[in-house]
Amino acid sequence: MDHFPWLTVAGAVPLVGALAIGFTPGRSAPGSAADRRARDQLVKYIALATSLVTLAVLAVMATQFNTSGPRFQFRQVYQWIPQFGVHYAVGVDGIALVLILMTAVLMPVVVLASWHDVDPDPDAAGVAVPGFETAPRKQRSAKSYFILMLVLETMMIGVFAATDVFLFYVFFEAMLVPMYFMIGSYGVGQRQYAAVKFLLYSLLGGLLMLVAVIALYVYSAHGSHPGTFLFSSLLRVSLSPTVQKWLFLGFFIAFAIKAPLWPFHTWLPDAATSAQPGAAVLLVGVLDKVGTFGMLRYCLELFPSAAHYFTPLIIVLAVVGVLYGAIVAIGQKDMKRLIAYTSVSHMGLITLGIFAMTSQGQAGATLYMVNHGFATGALFIIAGFLVARRGSQLIEDYGGVQKVAPLLAGLFLIAGLAGLSLPGLSTFVSEFLVLVGTFTRYEVAAALATTGIILAAIYILWMYQRTMHGPVKPELAKMRDLRPRELWAVGPLIALIIVLGVYPKPVLDIINPAVHSTLVHVHSPDPVPPHPAVTMQRIEITKRGGQA
């Protein structure tokens, strides 16, 4: 199994599934309404099965990952465009591995949560607020929706697995296409405006990155050596400080838009509000992480001196983002928009952890990327269940849900508590690591960011109070609690949120070596405490020795 092309296979499975869906009879094929429903069901089951197979492949792959082995594993390198030094090169370090696993876990969840995005939801019990569009007016094709989703999965795996900068760029840009259509064609509300905004923003960043990618190729050529896009070769290229700064900016702005980092964030609330909940999970849970992943992998390692140069500025932007996102979230009236702004705040924390350039900061940031995917995913999905029942995204249209749907309310609370980083839940470990890692270098920045935990309590609990507490709104009196499909969608996420909060060590064990290697590349050793405590065991031994 040593040379089994795990990553290529895992990336290909969703494509095969998409192809299979493509061969099923479409909406225009003859048949009754019942036939059409059956055909849609088939599409959904194929999508679900495909995402589960992908997850299984990647889970088996993860068991083969050797935490004390070389940094990049499951590597494959083939020439792709030899003239330009472009390779099909894939491989994962611990950071990419956990992000790919997170993507694979989210995918079946998203498929289940999106079950009724393209057809009327039987749970929507006719209490919709007039004038609000919860689903596209005309029935859309289930086929293309789930094909888009599976194709997107391939690209998401590819973007994390690529070890060739050009290949990374291709996936980075190509991801936009399926997401653009998922928002623009299948979304709700002002979906076209949101989709275009998302695309233009991302394209702008992408073009800047493209320039930087090409320049990097140019600079990598020296003497008789042709240029290259291979990450491993680029690490050995030495660039002048000025060049580093410009190329860093090219990459960084693209990633800052993607993440999004304040003040590049305004596309996200619109996109997440207009996307169906499942698409919003992929957008915020996975696509955003490509931005922070890119900062960690490419900005830091390819341009270490520029990274140090820009660190103060980025720390400031990150802290502003943490507080700004949280404050604006408090003022939101729309649930999905509120969750999107909390993500702006959390992505600020992740960026902060990355640029603190300490082991705790970066390991915390990486773990946060994973945990945030699950926690925000759960929040979006449960908010989606509410919207499907009530036909409104506005917080004020809810009230007293805990009384009529206690299970839904309970899971919403756990997801919300993960959003405010309650200890015992996964996000706490990552948030505390980020803050403590930042504190060892930048006390003031960390202290300011820490006050965000108060704001987080306000936005989460206030939303929870307004939707779940109080007297039951008459329109909600007959609201159903979660059904099995919905429980299967969100249950695994809640379980992971709890398990990773109590026992995060397996994930940290995977992440730690990769973070260590990153920090070695950027020449940033952890600050040494002025009065290091010896470990407890050693105190005990000396004490015992002293007494004896």
Q: What is the DSSP secondary structure assignment for residue 223, as one 8-state letter? A: T
Q: Where are the alpha helices (DSSP H) in 331-398?
A: 335-356, 359-390
135-194 residues in contact with another protein (CB under 8 A) are 173, 177, 180, 184, 192-193
Binder of another protein out of 322, 381, 422, 490 (CB under 8 A):
422
Binder of another protein out of 15, 62, 203, 394 (CB under 8 A):
203
Q: How far is the CB of 28 from another protein (least distance, A)?
A: 21
Part in contact with another protein (CB under 8 A); list of ranges 2-10, 18-26, 151-159, 200-208: 200-208
Rounded to whole angstroms, the Cα distance separating 352 from 361 reads: 8
Binder of another protein out of 64, 79, 139, 465 (CB under 8 A):
465
The encoded tokens of residue 337 equal: 């928009």
* Nearer of residues 75 and 516 to another protein, judged by Cβ: 516
Applying CB under 8 A, does 28 fall inside the site for another protein?
no
Q: Where are the alpha helices (DSSP H) in 185-265?
A: 191-220, 231-234, 241-258
Applying CB under 8 A, does 31 fall inside the site for another protein?
no
Sequence-distant (6+) residues with CB within 8 A of 247 are: 212, 215, 216, 219, 239, 302, 303, 306
Q: How far is the CB of 264 from another protein (least distance, A)?
A: 9
Applying CB under 8 A, does 547 fall inside the site for another protein?
yes
500-539 residues in contact with another protein (CB under 8 A) are 503-505, 508-509, 512, 515-516, 526-536, 539
* Nearer of residues 129 and 207 to another protein, judged by Cβ: 207
216-255 residues in contact with another protein (CB under 8 A) are 217-218, 221, 227
Rounded to whole angstroms, the Cα distance separating 453 from 464 reads: 16
Beta-strand relationship, 73-81 and 86-92: antiparallel
Binder of another protein out of 317, 435, 445, 490 (CB under 8 A):
435
Q: How far is the CB of 173 from another protein (least distance, A)?
A: 8
392-421 residues in contact with another protein (CB under 8 A) are 400, 402-403, 410, 417
Q: How many CB atoms lie within 10 A of CB 516?
A: 16
The encoded tokens of residue 194 equal: 């949101």
* Nearer of residues 53 and 247 to another protein, judged by Cβ: 247
**Greatest alpha-carbon span in the chain:** 91
Binder of another protein out of 9, 49, 436, 522 (CB under 8 A):
436
Q: How far is the CB of 9 from another protein (least distance, A)?
A: 29
* Nearer of residues 35 and 133 to another protein, judged by Cβ: 133
Q: How far is the CB of 494 from another protein (least distance, A)?
A: 11
* Nearer of residues 319 and 422 to another protein, judged by Cβ: 422
Part in contact with another protein (CB under 8 A); list of ranges 63-71, 115-123, 140-148, 205-213: 205-213
Applying CB under 8 A, does 451 fall inside the site for another protein?
yes
DSSP string, 133-199: -SS-SSPPPHHHHHHHHHHHHHHHHHHHHB-BHHHHHHHHHHTHHHHHHHHHTT--SSHHHHHHHHH
Applying CB under 8 A, does 328 fall inside the site for another protein?
yes
Q: How far is the CB of 508 from another protein (least distance, A)?
A: 6
Binding-site residue total for another protein (CB under 8 A)?
A: 94
Q: How far is the CB of 89 from another protein (least distance, A)?
A: 18
Rounded to whole angstroms, the Cα distance separating 229 from 227 reads: 7
Instruction: Check: CB of residue 362 under 8 Å from CB of residue 370.
Output: no
252-281 residues in contact with another protein (CB under 8 A) are 263, 266-267
* Nearer of residues 139 and 451 to another protein, judged by Cβ: 451
Q: How many CB atoms lie within 10 A of CB 140?
A: 16
Residue with tokens 């299967």: 488
Reduce the DSSP state of residue 470 to 3 states and report it.
Answer: coil
The number of helices, as runs of H, and strands, as runs of E, in the chain is 24, 2
> Could you tell me which of 87, 71, 76, 92 has the C-alpha nearest to residue 5?
76
* Nearer of residues 121 and 481 to another protein, judged by Cβ: 481
Binding mask 67-96 for another protein (x = CB under 8 A): ----------------xx------------
Question: What values do phi and psi take at 76, rounded to 5?
Answer: -140, 135
Rounded to whole angstroms, the Cα distance separating 540 from 533 reads: 13
Rounded to whole angstroms, the Cα distance separating 418 from 490 reads: 14
* Nearer of residues 52 and 472 to another protein, judged by Cβ: 472
Reduce the DSSP state of residue 90 to 3 states and report it.
Answer: strand
Binding mask 348-387 for another protein (x = CB under 8 A): -----------xx--xx-----------------------
* Nearer of residues 16 and 196 to another protein, judged by Cβ: 196
Part in contact with another protein (CB under 8 A); list of ranges 48-56, 63-71, 287-295, 428-436: 428-436
Question: What values do phi and psi take at 230, rounded to 5?
Answer: -65, 130
Burial of 340 (0-12, 13-18, 19+ CB in 10 A): buried
